[in-house]
Amino acid sequence: MRALTWHGKHDVRVDTVDDPEILNPRDAIIKITSTAICGSDLHLYDGYIPTMKAGDILGHEFMGEVVETGPGSTLVKGQRVVVPFTIACGSCYHCGKHQYSACDNGNPADNQDIGMELYGQPMSGLFGYSHLTGGYAGGQAEYVRVPFSDVGPIVVPEGLDDDEVLFLSDILPTGWQAAENADIEPGDIVAVWGCGPVGLFAVQSAFLMGAARVIAIDHFPRRLELARRFGAETINFEESKTYEALMEMTGGIGPDAVIDAVGLEAHGFFVDNVVDQIKASLMLGTDRIHSIRQAIVACRKGGRVSMPAVYGGIVDKFPLGAFMEKGLTLKTGQTSVQHYMPGLLNAIVEGKIDTTFLISHRMSLEDAPKGYRMFHDNQNEVTKVVLKPGFTETAVAAE
Partner 1 sequence: MATVNDDAPPTTSKSREMRDAALQTFTETRRDTLLGRTVTINRPRAELYAYWRDFARLPTFMDNVERVDVLSPTRSHWVVKAPGGRTVEWDALVTEEKEGEMIAWASTEDADVPNSGRIEFRDAGDRGTIVTATIVYDPPAGVVGRLIAKMFQREPAIQARRDLRRFKQLMETGEVATSSRTRAQMHEEAA
Q: Give which of ligand NAD, Zn ion, partner 1, none residue 110 binds (C-beta under 5 to 8 Å, depending on kind).
A: partner 1
The residue ranges that bind Zn ion (CB under 5 A) are 38, 40, 88-89, 92, 95, 103, 105, 170
> Of 227, 315, 309, nearest to 261 (Cα)?
309
For residues 173-188, one letter each, b for 16 or more C-beta atoms within 10 angstroms of the residue's C-beta and e for the rest, the string is: bbbbbbbbbbebeeeb
Q: Which of 75, 82, 168, 309 binds ligand NAD (CB under 6 A)?
A: 309
> Shortest CA distance to 191 belongs to which of 267, 290, 294?
294
- Is residue 255 near partner 1 by the rule CB under 8 A? no
Are 339 and 100 in contact, with CB atoms under 8 Å apart? yes
Burial class (CB in 10 A: 0-12, 13-18, 19+), 284: exposed
Per-residue interface string for the shown chain with ligand NAD, residues 121-160, x marking contact by CB under 6 A: ----------------------------------------
Q: Which is nearer to ligand NAD, 149 or 334 (CB)?
A: 334
Distance CA 42, CA 379 (A): 11
Backbone CA torsion sign across 385, 386, 389, 395: negative
CA distance 69 to 73: 6
Q: Please give the DSSP secondary-structure letter assigned to residue 309.
A: S
Q: Report what 300 binds from Zn ion, ligand NAD, partner 1, none; CB cut-off 5-8 Å by kind.
A: none
Is there binding between residue 308 and ligand NAD (CB under 6 A)?
yes
Check residue 182 for interaction with ligand NAD (CB under 6 A): no
| Residue 323 near residue 85, CB atoms below 8 Å | no
Cβ nearer to partner 1, comparing 35 with 107: 107
- Please name the amino acid found at residue 67: V
92 touches partner 1 by CB under 8 A: yes
- Using DSSP's 3-state secondary structure scheme, residue 261 falls into coil
Q: Is 290 in the site for ligand NAD (CB under 6 A)?
A: yes
User: Taking CB under 8 A as the criterion, which residues in 22-81 touch partner 1?
Assistant: 23-26, 57, 72
The interface with partner 1 within residues 106-165 (CB under 8 A) comprises 106-113, 125, 134-137, 145, 147-148
Binding string to partner 1 for residues 277 to 306, with x set by CB under 8 A, is what? Answer: ------------------------------
Instruction: Please state, in angstroms and rounded to a whole number, the distance separating the CA atoms of residues 393 and 362.
Output: 9
Minimum CB separation of residue 389 from partner 1 in Å reads 16
Site residues (vs partner 1, CB under 8 A): 17-21, 23-26, 57, 72, 89-93, 96, 104-113, 125, 134-137, 145, 147-148
